[in-house]
Structure 1
């Protein structure tokens, strides 16, 4: 029996169309072999979307390209942190060309695996590679070769620090703003207390909002997990239905064969009875 890692690689390397049936077969093989842990691990695998599968092909068959992706991503983030304008522009151009080359490599691998080029979701593939360049965590997911859905990224890289400008004698001197009127000490104390009170209120509101956010995130994760489990169940049921339909087709064909055999036997039986009658009649004539 193949190792679990080899089976998992094949599942995510082969077309998603056969994923459910192949996973079911692998689980059955593991159960027959008495490896309950392997069967459990295989049963937890999720079917990838077509876009995720195309990205996985690059990770599994051309891992050196994703090594280059990680290196370019590190250089881009470093350039943004250090505000190296020329280098950043050069790296950004290199990023666009590199993402295009990744998409091209992914397309070629998918076509070699039997997919029609016109039906490939290359936009989602490009968005995933772009997100991997921007986010190291996404890059690691992509490199695993077990991505189950495409990802996207709204921005790119870290937020740069503000640029500082040196003022020279040639720069126009702005007109001085009028100095604020002096504020009496009691009024200052009143404002300070009011600001402190408002800050405490905002701190409480922030704490409550963050708690609500955490609870909402937990509910979202549970809802997403429930949705994935439901989808997984549907996939399993679809596979079972397909198997039952195959068995039904075979049974119908077997019934047709048996019906034909029965009719042939009936004809043979009738012919035999006629022959018996003929022989009996001949015997009666002799007597």
Structure 2
């Protein structure tokens, strides 16, 4: 039987972490005699991260439960596309339960093999399982059994799978005869169609957010215009009152000015009368002196 990279990878990614490097190098040396190119590819295989190793265990030993979880993810994506909120809530609860159960099963199996996961690794296992439910391509990676690094999802967006799988085109892990088969990576046409629907949904949501923002902006401008109208009416009333006060003050000033003019004339007359009186008194006094 001719060896393939996928077959060798499945073999290597199913062994204990501490044995991976030695087994990989030995397999590469063995293959070098018959297939130098394949030997080079095998030698380049990376040791799986602890969380990826646990997920690979689940792909081999808990394939039925893993397939059920990934199937839940497909149902959730359908419910999301149909905007079925009730189904999303129900499926979301089922997914949380399934992820917790699978992560615990993986942790128990890893501990039994002498590699109990840390809290950080356990969290990465859960995040990887969640990622498998959010994106069809990620589901294929999680079920492949040759995962190299943990995954992380952001809602129903495409998961970053760059360098995540040892053999990108490997099919999902096939368990022993009689067992269930985990879902294989999706057909590229179907995957492209799913992504187009996601992009269209995101674009519609973006446009709806922009429309809501525009309506909110109009409301804010209308409230501002109303406040300005009230302010303008208040200022116009204040100006009218000030103008009335100005008219009253100007009338009072005109009366005072007129009074001042009359007073000036009367004062001038009084001064002249006083001078005339003094002059007559002086003349009378001179006349009296001369008669003496």
The TM-score, its normalising length taken from structure 1, stands at: 0.51
- Alpha carbons 1:55, 1:106 under 8 Å: kept: yes
- Alpha carbons 2:27, 2:42 under 8 Å: kept: yes
Please state if 1:39 is matched with 2:65: no
Counterpart CA distance in 1 for 2:66 and 2:119 is 24
With a CA cutoff of 8 Å and minimum separation of 6, indicate the structure with the bigger relative contact order: 1
- Alpha carbons 2:108, 2:116 under 8 Å: kept: no
- Alpha carbons 1:50, 1:120 under 8 Å: kept: no
- Alpha carbons 1:124, 1:150 under 8 Å: kept: yes
Tell me what 2:14 maps to.
13
**Structure 2: stretches of 5+ with no match in the other structure:** 158-197, 209-218, 224-292
Counterpart CA distance in 1 for 2:104 and 2:49 is 19
1:135-162 Cα distance to aligned partner (Å, 9 max, x none): 1111111111111111112334666876
1:106-129 Cα distance to aligned partner (Å, 9 max, x none): 112212322135577100111111
Give 1 or 2 for the bigger CA radius of gyration: 2
Counterpart CA distance in 2 for 1:63 and 1:153 is 21
Counterpart CA distance in 2 for 1:69 and 1:78 is 15
Please state if 1:68 is matched with 2:64: no
3-state DSSP of counterpart to 1:76: helix
Counterpart CA distance in 1 for 2:120 and 2:81 is 36
Tell me what 1:188 maps to.
none
3-state DSSP of counterpart to 2:153: coil
Counterpart CA distance in 2 for 1:138 and 1:116 is 25
Please state if 1:101 is matched with 2:113: no
Tell me what 1:148 maps to.
148
- Alpha carbons 2:128, 2:151 under 8 Å: kept: yes
1:6-51 Cα distance to aligned partner (Å, 9 max, x none): 532231111222221111111111124x222331231231111111
Counterpart CA distance in 1 for 2:2 and 2:114 is 24
Q: Assess, with a 3 A threshold, how the Cα gap between structure 1 residues 17 and 120 changes in structure 2: closer, same or farther.
A: farther
3-state DSSP of counterpart to 1:13: coil
Shift of the alpha carbon at 1:97? 0.6
- Alpha carbons 1:52, 1:149 under 8 Å: kept: yes
**Structure 1: stretches of 5+ with no match in the other structure:** 164-173, 179-287
Please state if 1:29 is matched with 2:30: yes
1:218-252 Cα distance to aligned partner (Å, 9 max, x none): xxxxxxxxxxxxxxxxxxxxxxxxxxxxxxxxxxx
- Alpha carbons 1:124, 1:151 under 8 Å: kept: yes
Tell me what 2:131 maps to.
131
Please state if 1:53 is matched with 2:59: no
Counterpart CA distance in 1 for 2:155 and 2:76 is 13
- Number of residue pairs matched by the alignment: 166
Q: CA RMSD in A?
A: 2.9
